[in-house]
Amino acid sequence: MKDTIMGPLGIELGEMTPERVTATMPVNSNTHQPFGRLHGGASVVLAETVASMGTWNLIDQENEMAVGLEINANHIRGKQDGIVTAIATPLHKGRTTMVWDIKIVDEDEKLICVSRCTVAIIKQKQ
């Protein structure tokens, strides 16, 4: 996974069950916006990562793949350093789409960002 966007942003997967996926990301110069705070785009990458991995965990990995279809995010609180953790739970587990609720929190479990991500399940080309 280091050769994906996860590598440069320092995203590390944690728990992955059918009902919960977690990952952490450092807040540092790689994830800052120009004013020294966590970039909203980095939070969105973290959110889509846990939603996509959660979907991938639930599909036929040999014949299907998970791709982001839609994502939204509300950035609640700024953060300058430390680590954030994304916690994703499925709202809908369908045959062609899954919808995930993602909360990103800091070390004190203060809410940094909330997101909802729809992931499409598509057939892999043979």
12 catalytic per annotation: no
Give the H/E segment covering residue 109. Answer: none
Q: Exposed, middle or buried, 117 (CB in 10 Å: 0-12/13-18/19+)?
A: buried
Set 12, 19, 48, 107: catalytic member: 48
Phi first, then psi: give them for residue 110, nearest 5 degrees.
Answer: -80, 140
Helix ranges (DSSP H) in the chain: 6-9, 40-58
Catalytic residues: 48
